[in-house]
């Protein structure tokens, strides 16, 4: 099982550059995001990660740049600790590999030192094989035919093919002086195709993977004061993206590497002693959490306790503003006990039906300590407002 319902792939056991690239590919599959959705997720985190760069990096067998690895892993929805783990593994592989690290460098021969960046390479052109730049195919100049720009993301719409040069591949040998002109023409054609395809791509980002039903992109642009699309644009239940009814550990993505889940706790300021939804250790967590669809893309999040019975997570007093705590109450079917699950990053935003705001850590993404209260807040798209749903075994004491 892949996606926000399973444990993400790890670089452990990877010993070669090719295996590392393959592991990055598995991480992308786990995230369930297309190349363009990864680009949007990276932008939301302050990174630059063009789709062409992703395609190029995942189509190689040499190590991608460290900056790419960090931006890519974050875009897939992992936290800073797991990102650092991937980057550290990449550094270990790089330290254990003798140069050249790229086929372009290998052309220099075994006794020739690597060509420094921005200096002429063996063919008289700047050798920029490992530069990480927006808009380039994994930071390197394309050397194949115009339509060989790396693997196409199978989850994305097919772009129109770039016309081949009618002179054929042998034209470089006959007329080397035309090479620069051909590159200019090809680059112009690519830009034209991308401009024409922009409208189609933007519309396709809002099409459900299950086929045809519209839904917001993983990191939608702000259409309300909340920073996310309105609740009416949330995906319908059963679209193939939302979780089936069942037992789960609900994990805030900003503490996924700290083994913290949503469970019962108390206010840290001791103002009250009532049960609240907080971040706490996933081990032996209580109560047990059951997620149940109630139709229209909305869900109840039920807490099942062997002594206290069943309660539903509820926005305190049905308040509609931010900084409102979440507590279990008797299930009544009220709107402030129901949540839309909106795909976001590698998981879901939880949006109370009555307010359209988002659930997240009371003090935002920096609030990573055990005991941090869950609260209704203005939507920010930050990782504390993105939740992973990891299947959990049914408790032995319940008939479910």
Give residue 255's pLDDT: 95
Examine the pLDDT at 221 and tell me if it is beyond 60.
Answer: no
- What average pLDDT does range 57-81 have in this prediction? 91
Give residue 307's pLDDT: 86
- CA–CA separation, 88 and 101 (whole Å): 17
Kindly compute the dihedral angle of the four CA atoms of residues 333, 339, 340, 343, in this order, to the nearest 10 degrees.
-150
pTM of the prediction?
A: 0.44
- CA–CA separation, 223 and 171 (whole Å): 51
**Count of C-beta atoms within a 10 Å radius of residue 326:** 24
- CA–CA separation, 135 and 378 (whole Å): 33
Q: Using a pLDDT cut of 70, give the percent of the chain over it.
A: 62
- CA–CA separation, 206 and 241 (whole Å): 13
Q: What is the mean pLDDT of the chain?
A: 73
Examine the pLDDT at 117 and tell me if it is beyond 50.
Answer: no
Give residue 114's pLDDT: 40
Examine the pLDDT at 380 and tell me if it is beyond 50.
Answer: yes
Give residue 342's pLDDT: 92
Report the DSSP beta bridge partners of residue 140: 137
- CA–CA separation, 85 and 42 (whole Å): 18
- CA–CA separation, 258 and 356 (whole Å): 29
Report the DSSP beta bridge partners of residue 314: 327
**In contact, 347 and 340? CB cutoff 8 Å:** no
Kindly give the interhelix angle for 80-95 and 66-75, rounded to the nearest 10 degrees.
150
Give residue 146's pLDDT: 36
| Least confident residue range of 46-50, 162-166, 327-331, 393-397 | 162-166
Give residue limits of the domains in the chain: 1-117+127-148, 156-208, 231-391
- How sure is the predictor about 33, in pLDDT bands with cuts at 50, 70 and 90? confident
- What average pLDDT does range 333-344 have in this prediction? 94
pLDDT tens digit sequence for 261-289:
999 999 999 999 999 999 999 988 889 99
CATH class of 231-391: mainly beta
**In contact, 14 and 23? CB cutoff 8 Å:** yes
């Amino acid at each position: 099982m892949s996606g926000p319902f399973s444990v993400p792939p790890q670089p452990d056991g990877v010993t070669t550059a090719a295996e590392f690239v393959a592991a990055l590919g598995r991480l992308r599959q786990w995230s369930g995001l297309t190349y363009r959705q990864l680009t949007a997720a990276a932008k939301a985190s302050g990174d630059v990660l063009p789709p062409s760069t992703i395609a190029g990096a995942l189509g190689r067998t040499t190590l991608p740049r460290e900056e790419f690895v960090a931006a890519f892993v974050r875009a897939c929805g992992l936290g800073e600790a797991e990102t650092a783990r991937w980057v550290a593994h990449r550094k270990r592989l790089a330290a254990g590999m003798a140069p050249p690290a790229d086929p372009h460098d290998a052309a220099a021969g075994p006794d020739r030192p690597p060509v420094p960046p921005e200096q002429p390479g063996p063919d008289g052109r700047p050798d920029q094989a490992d530069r990480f730049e927006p808009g380039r195919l994994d930071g390197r100049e394309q050397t194949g035919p115009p339509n060989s720009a790396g693997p196409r993301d199978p989850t994305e719409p097919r772009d129109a093919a770039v016309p081949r040069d009618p002179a054929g591949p042998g034209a470089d040998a006959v007329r080397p002086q035309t090479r620069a002109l051909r590159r200019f023409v090809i680059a112009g054609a690519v830009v034209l195709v991308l401009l024409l395809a922009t409208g189609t791509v933007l519309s396709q980002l809002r099409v459900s993977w299950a086929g045809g039903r519209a839904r917001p992109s993983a990191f939608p642009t702000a259409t309300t004061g909340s920073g996310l699309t309105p609740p009416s644009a949330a995906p319908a239940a059963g679209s193939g993206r939302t979780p089936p009814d069942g037992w789960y550990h609900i994990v805030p993505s900003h503490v996924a590497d700290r083994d913290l889940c949503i469970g019962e706790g108390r206010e840290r300021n001791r103002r009250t002693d009532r049960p609240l939804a907080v971040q706490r250790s996933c081990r032996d967590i209580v109560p047990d959490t059951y997620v149940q669809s109630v139709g229209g893309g909305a869900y109840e999040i039920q807490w099942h306790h062997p002594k206290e019975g069943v309660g539903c997570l509820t926005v305190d007093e049905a308040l509609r503003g931010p900084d409102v705590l979440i507590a279990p109450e008797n299930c009544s079917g009220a709107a402030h006990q129901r949540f839309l699950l909106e795909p976001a990053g590698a998981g879901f935003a939880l949006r109370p039906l009555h307010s359209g705001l988002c659930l997240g850590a009371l003090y935002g993404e920096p609030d990573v300590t055990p005991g941090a209260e869950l609260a209704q807040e203005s939507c920010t798209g930050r990782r504390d407002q993105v939740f992973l749903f990891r299947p959990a075994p049914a408790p032995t004491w319940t008939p479910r």
